[in-house]
Amino acid sequence: MPRCPVCDAAVDLATTPTVPFCSDRCRLIDLGRWLDESYAVPEKKRPVDEDEAESD
């Protein structure tokens, strides 16, 4: 059985309308974390092309 990403409670996929969260409370906590920028998608650093660096 999957677990809620906020509180780690078990989530029944068949009966829980807030999947993947166990409740509306956990869903809103997660949304708040995104809005506060507590979560972030990591950005891969790309190598600097010498031609691009000279044109800046």
48-51 contact pairs (CB < 8 A, 24+): none
CA distance 19 to 3: 10
3-state class of 9 per DSSP? coil
Residues 2, 20 contacting (CB under 8 angstroms): yes
Tell me the domain boundaries of the chain.
Answer: 1-40
pLDDT in tens, 23-49: 999 999 999 999 999 988 888 888 877
Superfamily of domain 1-40 in the CATH hierarchy = Erythroid Transcription Factor GATA-1, subunit A (3.30.50.10)
Centre a 10 Å sphere on the Cβ of residue 13 and count the other Cβ atoms it contains. Answer: 9
In percent, how much of the chain has pLDDT > 70? 88
In degrees and rounded to multiples of 5, residue 54 shows phi and psi of -75, -30
Token couple for 21: 């969260």
Single pTM value for the model: 0.68
